[in-house]
Amino acid sequence: MLLIQNALVHAPSPLGRKDLLIAADRILAIEDHIDAGRLPVPCEIIDARGQALAPGFIDGHVHVTGGGGEGGFRTRTPELALSTATAAGVTTVIGVLGTDGISRSVEALVAKTYALREEGISAWCYTGSYRIPPVTVTGDVMKDIMMIDPVIGAGELAISDHRSSRPTDAELANVAAQARVAGMLSGKAGVVNVHLGDAPEGLTPLQRICAVGDLPMTQFIPTHCNRNPGLLAQAMDWARSGGWVDFTCSTVPAFLDEGETSAAESVARLKAEGIDLARATVTSDGQGSLPSFNAAGVMTGLDIGSCSYLLAYLREATQRRGLSLEEALMPITFNPAAALKLRQKGRIAVDMDADLVILTPDLKPEFVLARGRVMVRDGRVVVPGTFEKMAAAAP
């Protein structure tokens, strides 16, 4: 058992100063005061000292097996290390492939998802990559979602991007229909994660598909919605009509100079326009490449995304964009849990998974718990990944 005392709980809505009792991997009790001396067994005590306690962050778009490769084999990015996630307060990741669905297989993605679970955090993944028809494990989108436990949907399928397979509306709708039925039959989200590029069509293919009326807008989670002004304007209308929008927080100055809007500013603009913030998620695109291309489609620069950008988003949102901590937390806690049907995630409440982050006043993770296990203590990672541990022990 573990007792957190004197925490200012943001669930993500503010609950005030509370004590939390954790047993195994669940939150057992939330009270104004819990007397450790009256508990039936000894427990570890963490004094939060009046600091903010938030749900563990959900990063819904992470290239856990690495991404990139648009500049040749040497530009393939490395796999996600456990500490990269936990040091950023991330306790749940959703793995995706991307441009490269050849040297990065769905089988490897599923295996890495299981590995992250074994190392101590919660993890799920999508089946497929940029291409249509999707590459899958079983040869069928529905079978992957229904029969492979970590697979919760399809994606990251690409549209409006020179790297996509240029799917027709019918092809994209067919994948969405398969994912939807598989989700219904398995109790999973069954959504389709859709990569949006810089091409002028933007969200238009999804708008056309949903206009037919048999697929709801919430069947899709379009991502990178903040990559240019035109796409952001479309995303505002999409969210206003009830669809999900996902903003990417990993960025570089060149992208912002070229017209990308930061994730924090994008969420703030939703609020300013009176759009329900419950429609927005923020993800890191962690371990994905951040390539720059010239007018001819040739890559001219490369950086890498990281889960740590979620912290930069959180600080910008609260310190520069006028969002409350509750409002800033929603797109990385409650909202993705709702979009992906992660029923035990995204909230601080009795019987929820004990995924928790204690934040310092400058919004740095001081303690991170993943399913009740302390992964970060006093700002330092105390549970490294398997090969991080081996590397640390090497002479």
Compute CA distances 383 → 24, 369, 388, whole Å: 17, 11, 9
**What is the 3-state secondary structure of 125-164?**
EEECCCCCCCCCCCCCHHHHHHHCCCEEEEEEEEECCCCC
- The answer, yes or no, to whether the previous bond of 12 is cis (omega within 30 of 0) is yes
Look up residue 22 and give its DSSP letter. Answer: E
Active site annotation includes 285: yes
10 Å Cβ neighbour count for 232?
A: 21
Residue of 59, 285, 303, 355 marked active site? 285
In the chain the first and final C-alpha atoms are separated, in Å, by 36
10 Å Cβ neighbour count for 235?
A: 30
Spatial distance between the Cα atoms of 162 and 183, rounded to a whole number of angstroms: 30
CB-based contact 247:226 (threshold 8 Å): yes
For 136, the token pair is 């899958």
**Identity of residue 69:** G
**What is the 3-state secondary structure of 73-97?**
HHHECCCCCHHHHHCCCEEEEEECC
Residues marked as catalytic: 285
